[in-house]
Amino acid sequence: MRGDGDIVLVSCYEPGHQPMGLASPIAFLRAAGYRPRCVDLAVDGLDEGAMALVRGARLVAVSVPMHTALALGTRLAVRVLAANPKAHLCFYGLYAPLNAAYLRSLGAHSIVGPECEEELVAIADAVREERAPPAPPARLRRLPFRTPERDALPPLHRYARLVVGNERRVAGHVEASRGCLHSCRHCPIPPVYRGRFFAVPAAIVLDDVDRQVAAGARHITFGDPDFLNGPRHALALARELHARHPTVSFDFTAKVEHLLARRALLPELASLGCAFIVTAFESLSDEVLRVFDKGHSARDAVEALRIVRAASISLRPTWVPFTPWSGLDDYLALGRFIADHDLGHEVDPVQMSIRLLVPPGSLLLERPEMQAVVGPLDQAALSYRWTHPDPRMDSLCTEVRALCEEAAARCEEAPTTFARIFAHAARVAGEERAGPLRFQPRRPPQAHLSERWFCCAEPTRQQVGGVTSLP
């Protein structure tokens, strides 16, 4: 082998999942003769054991597939280079190339995008041979996929679980595809993948499922940006998963337009064990949805909710309530929508704190509506600045974020948190007589993962402390 501990892979955050951003590169690096060591800050933080690995490494590669991860990774860079100035620091994943200039200013030596596994091997070779690593390819290439290797990671039971009533099932996480066919302008995927979509061979996905089930998983998340980009591939995988493991449930993410267009698949997916679907409603404003190029209307979102529930599947929408084009009336309307449609147990309260991010390269920058309000790039914030025309909205966003963080820390019931958020927003709007939100618990209890934070939310104080606190 080419070294035990020479390479340290670090995951900062992967919404409660055992990190695919480490498991897949491990397989490629091992095949090349390396023995990488791993640190998952979401589970262990940057403790003394992790710092010892960093101090002894020649290559430290940090996985940053999403905003929250990179917001933590930029803080990590300072710690890594202070502890080991001779280390080659690499950032890889979706958010790395979007923020390459800032990462290099922090001292990063290599910046690699997604589909990066072979490039990480090339960087490891270059570091071992004390030469400059090759430039990354100008266009993403399809990988010769390998089954992810997870034995070097913390065990599955330390990650988020599927909660169904009083039951908490160990949950696994796989990828059936990477990239996306669509070009939603607020999403970070289109500027990098440019409409490309790579299906992972079914044999590799199912091998990964089998290994995680053997490790205790009783639920599987398909972590694709959109599981229904390739409906035949998705359905074949769901059928085979159920045939092999009939008691294992699953969830996936899909666009509203795909739920509508492929509604005929939903009853079978439910029969195969689909517990819930995540979908990006984003806004109740058709104007905002038009600016985002979401491909659906507010009416479509209501129809998607109806057909998914009719198939006996729970639908868990995501939102971007703070945009330059959404005001206090829109925010209060969103709270009422969640209550009126009995979504209090199917939306995570952190969704009420999400502020529109405009990272470098965002397709939103091409829209005149965005050009009219956008300010300079704030590299440390990983986004272009924009200020809401109503200053109360910017203050409300900060206040709701703090409220959600505090509620998540004490595991408060979601409807209670929503009611507090709505009451505060009503006071800000001067509508104290708006009346409280009233939720009725859904029966039977709706399945959800125990992770309470989100991929494009700002890190919590606890997450930041796991990176910046001295061991």
Confidence of residue 89 (pLDDT cuts 50, 70, 90): very high
What per-residue confidence (pLDDT) applies to 447? 93
Whether the Cβ atoms of residue 19 and residue 41 lie closer than 8 Å to each other = no
H or E stretch including 221? strand 219-222
* Long-range residue pairs from 343-346, CB within 8 A, at least 24 positions apart, any chain: 343/305, 343/317, 344/414, 344/415, 344/418, 344/437, 344/439, 345/414, 345/415, 345/439, 345/441, 345/442, 345/445, 345/446, 345/448, 346/276, 346/314, 346/315, 346/316, 346/317, 346/442, 346/446, 346/448
Q: For the chain, how big is the Rg over CA atoms in Å? A: 22
Kindly report, residue by residue over 139-190, the tens digit of the pLDDT: 899 999 999 999 999 999 999 999 998 899 999 999 999 999 999 999 999 9
pLDDT of 452 reads 87
7 has a pLDDT exceeding 90 = yes
Q: What is the pTM of this model?
A: 0.95
> Beta strand pairing status for 4-11 and 35-40?
parallel
All structural domains of the chain, each given as residue ranges with its CATH number in brackets, are 4-128 (3.40.50.280), 161-450 (3.80.30.20)
Q: Could you read off the pLDDT of 409-457 as tens digits, one per residue?
A: 999 999 999 999 999 999 999 976 667 777 776 666 789 999 988 888 8
Please determine, for residue 388, whether its predicted confidence score (pLDDT) is greater than 80.
Answer: yes
Q: Which of 142-151, 350-359, 377-386, 461-470 has the lowest mean pLDDT?
A: 461-470
CA–chain centroid gap for 256, Å, is 18
- DSSP state letter for 272: T
Tokens 């109503």 sit at which residue? 390
Residue 1 pLDDT > 50, yes or no? no
Q: Which pLDDT does position 470 carry in this prediction?
A: 61
221 vs 455, residue with greater confidence: 221
pLDDT tens for 102-135 read 999 999 999 999 999 999 999 999 999 999 998 8
pLDDT in tens, 202-220: 999 999 999 999 999 999 9
Count other Cβ atoms within 10 Å, centred on residue 333: 16
